Chains A and B, each alone.
Chain A
Amino acid sequence: MDPKFRRVGFEPDPNQSQYPLTVPPPRLLSERTAAVPVPEIGFRRQFPGDRIPIGSYNPSLALLGTSPSAASTPTSEYRDGDGEFSEDSSGWFLRSESKRMEGTAKEERNDVPSISKPVKANTTKAERRALQEAQRAAKATSKADGRAEPGKGVKQSSGKKDGPPVTSSTATDKKSGGRSLEKERKKDVPPPRMQFDDKSRVEKAKRRALVNQTEAVNRVELFRHLPQYEYGSQLPKLESKLFQIDSVHPSVFKVGLRYLAGGTSGDNARCIEMLRAFQEAIRDYSTPPEKALVRDLTAKIGSYVSFFTECRPLSISMRNAIRFVKSRIAKLPLSHSESEAKATLYSDIDRFINEKIILAAKVIVGHAATKVRDGDVLLIYGSSSVVEMILLYAHELGKQFRVVVVDSRPKLQSQALIRRLLAKGLDCTYTLINGVSYVMHEVTRVFLGASAVLSNGTVYSRIGTACVAMVAHAFHVPVLVCCEAYKFHERVQLDSICSNELGDPNAVATVPGRMNVNYLDNWTSEDNLQILNLMFDVTPSDYISAIVTDHGMVPPTSVPVIVREYGREHLI
């Protein structure tokens, strides 16, 4: 069917062929807890009325029919899930505002009749008070940071409403260990968003830092809160220090330097590299005397993470992976010996890489390839590994289509991609992002990659993605975002300014291969002139027709559901 015709009637589109996978395929259903429908009720309550008319939501409405049968079984599973989860959650709430979402989510769950737990709901006031006191004490000793706001205490207790009985009954022995882990984690995980306009904190961070980057000159006022350094100036010095630094494992150091040099691009590649470095570090790790493995290793990983952060700000997918590793360490049974524990961790990380990144990509490719038809003209932007796999897979299936590759300065990543596609025999059209309005006329689908999908449905991706999605939206071309579920994050973001990454401004100033374009050769001498090289932008959810994940194709409104239901898989 011609998508342009189909869009004439616009949204309340009876033809769900575009989102058939919102209903999870049976195979997936059996695999996971099968409890999706129940929380979805809660979710819909959070967003009443105005969201529902979006046509893409219909499939999940239909899903409600199946909910009662599914809801009865997983209750018990949820229960211990909660127990475990609430352990972490106190840390979460302390750490960041944005996770309040989770708290409200839990409250919602309490309202859902099918999982009502009368015994737990009746925890006495005294019990709750006691628990709160304990948490306060733990918090005070952990001296994590002074950012625990008064409101948080309330949130915390409400969030843990159904927690206490479980922890007290089943996890008493773990409790002390778990608490201390909480402290460790609070200490180690760098605050998710360091604001670099906060002088005192920056100073503090600098004193600790291994990589002493120099501040870039002529910075853009609007982006003072983001780190920006001279590029490449530190690299030789650090390389020579490879064998002198003992606080960081050599493999970690190597990967960090590669980040610093901008060697690895692509979130998946970066994430896998980091996890492999962790694996190496864990393999070579031995617990120092008089220290517990659980604690010490968490601290070590924490220091590695801060080293990586100094080299290049972590992507959201990397943060999720780190959270996974830490939770795995925290969950190690105390009975394990050191070698056992190390082996478990090693295989856990392997499993994460395989399941969450490699297999997930394959599942996405399978889903997305169904959306490629003969005669299609697909537009892709940048060079996303998953999107490339989709194109190659569809080509292998023998589908006849053309690819429009849109590229943008200064990275021009697509040039390498276009070589690979041409070598495989695909027909390509290449243009820069300015020409996207010109080529959009003939395009029938847009496939985009993403660096992260945030829980308000916005897609955090390479700079320019929003432009492409916007133009596609204006031309009524469906936009499919392909993103593994491990890149989903419960944070929300409205603009591309508050949280972003700054690249090297010199890359914008110079145009390789164009000798006559040299107007900005000595731009730093001009006081009034700044150059901004943003790395990411945020695509509003209304430009996105569907997000293809390893859990199927979902509308952007369903992202919080996935974050809530599957996000915790990392932690269990």
Chain B
Amino acid sequence: MPDVQALVNDFVNQLKKRKIEGSQATAKQTAEVLRSVISQQRVPHTNQAAALINAVRAVGEQLIAANPVELAVGNIVRRILHIIREEDLSLATAAMAGLGLSVASDDEDDMERSDQPILSAAAVAAAARSTLRPPSLQTLLEDMPDSAAVPHTSSSGGDSEGKSRSVDKGSRGRKLKHDVIEAVNELIQDISTCYEQIAEQAIEHIHQNEVILTLGSSKTVLEFLCAAKEKKRSFKVFVAEGAPRYQGHLLAKDLAARGLQTTVITDSAVFAMISRVNMVIVGAHAVMANGGVIAPVGLNMVALAAQRHAVPFVVLAGSHKLCPLYPHNPEVLLNELRSPSELLDFGEFSDCMDSASGAGSLHIVNPTFDYVPPKLVSLFITDTGGHNPSYMYRLIADYYSADDLVVKGRPTTGS
């Protein structure tokens, strides 16, 4: 499959060169690349899921390494791994249910084979239940007796099936791939429409004559505010320009063009203006499992000011931005320093750059992201509704399987 490899390499290059801007675009492209990887992947008759998982994981590893700071890539890789697992499981349950029925009806089969599948069917069903149902204390307790049987039965069940029903198996493999691709398509659809679902909730959060502050630019925020505007709410927006990228200028222009009262302020005026603001609504780069936010630079300052004046700090994030990892020292480790030329004109300051001249040395710091700790965030609005920062870990458990949290450096084993 040379064409897929070329596709992957191309995408890796783009990621490395930071050509792709914004987590939404990245997420979408990642999903598309992985979809083609899956569709090109030849599936063996046995263990199709494992094969798919391994393929996705191998490509995902490359993609993540290409831009480790762009957490959306990792999120999508994990989402797709999770999708494969889920599809596999639901197919297995369906198959096992059928098998179990056939076994029960067929008395002639030898005894030692007959009780195996029943056991395994029950176990797989339990496992399926545990993944499809939200984990709670009750499901944990229910699964207790079966849990020991799961690994043993799944492999033996697979073996026995492989021998007995290879024809059926082949169709199931194709079915799995088909289902996974369907699900990935759905995911891509979700990613591209997530801001619509978020924007639908705008009317519940913005009241008449509200004053809203935002920083930088985010498509989600733009759509959110415009959705409220379309519902005949009139409110004012302060846009902090978000130096050194000045995306705020762009957002302000778009908002004003759509008929919203917009005021551009400098980033330094955030503290001065926040006392007259009712709500801060911002976009995010990524949302971590602890409810912390990796956001465009400057937002930590805004969040602190909002906290000081008890102004709600609302973060809009599509589900592709939910990252299942817990951050450690995110200000440094999940950050990226951009070109100094955005701050200082190199021509003017080139003479200061060489430390040999005896003058002091000059460092220029131009970080891309800020980390906003969960205690500063009042509310997350995702495409599934509004959530508290403390609830993010739970939301994330819906989207990712715990086995995939570490994509990299994991020796690949069978299912």
Instruction: Please tell me if A332 contacts chain B, counting CB pairs below 8 Å.
Output: no
Instruction: Please tell me if A18 contacts chain B, counting CB pairs below 8 Å.
Output: no
A434 and B242 contact, CB distance less than 8 A: yes
The distance in angstroms between the C-alpha atoms of A407 and B268, with both chains bound, is 9
Type the 1/0 row for A518-545, where 1 means its CB is closer than 8 Å to any CB of B: 0110010011111111100110100000
- Whether A470 contacts B271 in the complex (CB less than 8 A), given A409-B243, A422-B360, A529-B256, comes out as yes
Give the segment of B49-57, B147-155, B257-265 that binds chain A. B257-265
Q: Closest approach, in angstroms, between the C-beta of B341 and any C-beta of chain A?
A: 9
CB-contacts of B344-393 with A (<8 A): 344-345, 348-349, 352, 358-367, 370-371
A441 and B308 contact, CB distance less than 8 A: no
CB-contacts of A402-452 with B (<8 A): 407-410, 415, 418-419, 421-439, 441
Instruction: Please tell me if B301 contacts chain A, counting CB pairs below 8 Å.
Output: yes
The distance in angstroms between the C-alpha atoms of A533 and B268, with both chains bound, is 10
What is the count of residue pairs linking A and B with beta-carbon distances less than 8 angstroms?
193
- Whether A529 contacts B344 in the complex (CB less than 8 A), given A431-B365, A463-B272, comes out as no
Q: Looking at the complex, which one of B253, B275, B362, B367 makes contact with A438 (CB distance below 8 Å)?
A: B367
B272 and A538 contact, CB distance less than 8 A: yes
- Whether A531 contacts B243 in the complex (CB less than 8 A), given A422-B352, A430-B363, A435-B366, comes out as no
Type the 1/0 row for A200-232, where 1 means its CB is closer than 8 Å to any CB of B: 000000000000000000001010000000000
B246 and A529 contact, CB distance less than 8 A: no
- Whether A422 contacts B253 in the complex (CB less than 8 A), given A463-B266, A466-B272, A520-B264, comes out as no
B362 and A428 contact, CB distance less than 8 A: yes
Instruction: Please tell me if B285 contacts chain A, counting CB pairs below 8 Å.
Output: no
B250 and A519 contact, CB distance less than 8 A: yes
Instruction: Please tell me if B249 contacts chain A, counting CB pairs below 8 Å.
Output: yes
**A532 neighbours in B (Cβ, 8 Å):** 238, 263-266, 269, 273
The distance in angstroms between the C-alpha atoms of A568 and B93, with both chains bound, is 88
Instruction: Please tell me if A195 contacts chain B, counting CB pairs below 8 Å.
Output: no
Q: Closest approach, in angstroms, between the C-beta of B318 and any C-beta of chain A?
A: 24
**B301 neighbours in A (Cβ, 8 Å):** 433-434, 436-437, 467, 470-471
**B349 neighbours in A (Cβ, 8 Å):** 419
A410 and B253 contact, CB distance less than 8 A: no
A519 and B269 contact, CB distance less than 8 A: no
> Across the two chains, which residue of chain B brings its CB closest to A222?
B276
Instruction: Please tell me if B270 contacts chain A, counting CB pairs below 8 Å.
Output: yes
CB-contacts of B170-221 with A (<8 A): none
Q: Closest approach, in angstroms, between the C-beta of A229 and any C-beta of chain B?
A: 18
Q: Closest approach, in angstroms, between the C-beta of A307 and any C-beta of chain B?
A: 29
- Whether A520 contacts B271 in the complex (CB less than 8 A), given A429-B363, A430-B363, comes out as no
Q: Looking at the complex, which one of B249, B304, B362 makes contact with A471 (CB distance below 8 Å)?
A: B304
B270 and A533 contact, CB distance less than 8 A: no
B297 and A438 contact, CB distance less than 8 A: yes
Q: Looking at the complex, which one of B242, B244, B262, B332 makes contact with A529 (CB distance below 8 Å)?
A: B262
> Across the two chains, which residue of chain B brings its CB closest to A462?
B268
**A428 neighbours in B (Cβ, 8 Å):** 360-363
A433 and B256 contact, CB distance less than 8 A: no
Q: Closest approach, in angstroms, between the C-beta of A18 and any C-beta of chain B?
A: 23
Q: Closest approach, in angstroms, between the C-beta of B393 and any C-beta of chain A?
A: 24
Instruction: Please tell me if A289 contacts chain B, counting CB pairs below 8 Å.
Output: no
**B242 neighbours in A (Cβ, 8 Å):** 434
- Whether A463 contacts B264 in the complex (CB less than 8 A), given A437-B370, A497-B276, A528-B259, comes out as no
**A421 neighbours in B (Cβ, 8 Å):** 360
Instruction: Please tell me if A517 contacts chain B, counting CB pairs below 8 Å.
Output: yes
A470 and B367 contact, CB distance less than 8 A: no
**B298 neighbours in A (Cβ, 8 Å):** 433-435
Instruction: Please tell me if B343 contacts chain A, counting CB pairs below 8 Å.
Output: yes
> Across the two chains, which residue of chain A brings its CB closest to B217?
A519
Q: Looking at the complex, which one of B249, B260, B331 makes contact with A520 (CB distance below 8 Å)?
A: B249
Instruction: Please tell me if A513 contacts chain B, counting CB pairs below 8 Å.
Output: yes
> Across the two chains, which residue of chain B brings its CB closest to A395?
B360
Instruction: Please tell me if A274 contacts chain B, counting CB pairs below 8 Å.
Output: no
B262 and A528 contact, CB distance less than 8 A: yes
> Across the two chains, which residue of chain A brings its CB closest to B309?
A495
Q: Closest approach, in angstroms, between the C-beta of A565 and any C-beta of chain B?
A: 31
Q: Looking at the complex, which one of A429, A496, A514 makes contact with B364 (CB distance below 8 Å)?
A: A429
Instruction: Please tell me if B121 contacts chain A, counting CB pairs below 8 Å.
Output: no
A534 and B269 contact, CB distance less than 8 A: yes
- Whether A427 contacts B360 in the complex (CB less than 8 A), given A409-B267, A434-B267, A437-B331, comes out as yes
B272 and A537 contact, CB distance less than 8 A: yes
- Whether A437 contacts B269 in the complex (CB less than 8 A), given A430-B365, A517-B249, A520-B253, comes out as no
Instruction: Please tell me if A321 contacts chain B, counting CB pairs below 8 Å.
Output: no
B269 and A431 contact, CB distance less than 8 A: no
B267 and A526 contact, CB distance less than 8 A: no
B262 and A534 contact, CB distance less than 8 A: no
A530 and B264 contact, CB distance less than 8 A: yes
Q: Closest approach, in angstroms, between the C-beta of B298 and any C-beta of chain A?
A: 3
A470 and B263 contact, CB distance less than 8 A: no
B343 and A508 contact, CB distance less than 8 A: no
The distance in angstroms between the C-alpha atoms of A143 and B363, with both chains bound, is 60
> Across the two chains, which residue of chain A brings its CB closest to B296?
A434
> Across the two chains, which residue of chain A brings its CB closest to B216?
A434
CB-contacts of A217-272 with B (<8 A): 220, 222
- Whether A534 contacts B272 in the complex (CB less than 8 A), given A408-B267, A435-B367, A470-B305, comes out as yes
The distance in angstroms between the C-alpha atoms of A250 and B249, with both chains bound, is 42
**B260 neighbours in A (Cβ, 8 Å):** 528
Q: Closest approach, in angstroms, between the C-beta of B319 and any C-beta of chain A?
A: 27
Type the 1/0 row for A142-162, where 1 means its CB is closer than 8 Å to any CB of B: 000000000000000000000
A430 and B367 contact, CB distance less than 8 A: no
Instruction: Please tell me if A511 contacts chain B, counting CB pairs below 8 Å.
Output: yes
**A429 neighbours in B (Cβ, 8 Å):** 362-365
Q: List 6 tightest A-B contacts by C-beta distance, closest first.
A: A464-B268, A434-B298, A496-B272, A529-B256, A437-B300, A408-B268
Could you show 19 A-B contacts with beta carbons less than 8 Å apart? A425-B360, A428-B361, A432-B343, A437-B301, A464-B269, A471-B300, A471-B304, A496-B275, A497-B276, A511-B246, A519-B249, A523-B264, A528-B255, A528-B260, A528-B262, A530-B262, A531-B265, A532-B265, A534-B266
Q: Which residues of A contact B (CB under 8 A)?
A: 220, 222, 407-410, 415, 418-419, 421-439, 441, 463-464, 466-467, 470-471, 474, 495-497, 500, 508-509, 511, 513-514, 517, 519-520, 523, 526-534, 537-538, 540
Q: A427-B362, A438-B365, A537-B271 are in contact. List 14 more A-B contacts (CB 8 A).
A: A408-B268, A409-B243, A422-B352, A422-B362, A428-B362, A430-B343, A430-B344, A437-B300, A463-B272, A466-B271, A467-B268, A508-B264, A528-B255, A532-B263
Q: Which residues of B contact A (CB under 8 A)?
A: 238, 241-244, 246, 249-250, 252-253, 255-257, 259-273, 275-276, 297-298, 300-301, 304-305, 308, 331-332, 335, 342-345, 348-349, 352, 358-367, 370-371
